[in-house]
Amino acid sequence: IDHVKAIADRVTVLRRGEVVATRETKELNETDLAELMVGRPFEIGAPDRPKKNDVSKNKCALEVRNLTVAPIACPAGLTEASFKVRSGEILGVAGISSNGQDELVAALTGTTQFDGDIHLPQTQDHRIGFIPG
C-alpha cells in the first residue's frame, strides 16, 4: 500500500466491483486505505509521503466516465467507475484481487465490451501498459 501513496495524488477504492471511495491520498493514511479496501478495521504502518510536482493544471490525458463492465474475474464486474488522469500523472490500480481491477484493465486496453465513456486525446502513443501483479 505504501507504493500507492508514494505515486498517487488520488485513490479510488473498488470492492466487489463497486466504487466504495475516492479520496486524496493526502487525506488518507495506510490504515484508512486498508480499511476501505477490506471493508473492516485494519492496522498497518504509514510512512510520510514525499512531495510531488503539482500537475493539477495539466491537460486531461485520459477520462473515464460511468464505466460499467460485465464480470470477468469479479463476480459483480465493474459499476460506474469515473476518473481523470492528467498529463504527467501515473494511474496505478492496486487492491485485493477480484474487485474490478481485471474488468478495468480489459476495458482500458480494448479487450472487452463496456458501457460508459473512455476518452483518450488523439495522439500516436498513449503509453498505456499492463504490469500484472
Helical (H) or strand (E) element with 30: helix 30-38
Strands, E assignment, 70-131? 78-86, 115-119
The single residue listed with the C-alpha cell 504502518 is: 45
Q: Tens-of-pLDDT digits for all 133 residues of the chain?
A: 677 778 888 888 888 888 899 998 888 887 888 888 888 886 555 455 555 666 677 888 889 999 999 998 778 889 999 999 888 888 888 888 888 888 998 998 888 899 999 998 766 565 666 666 6
**pTM of the complete model:** 0.55
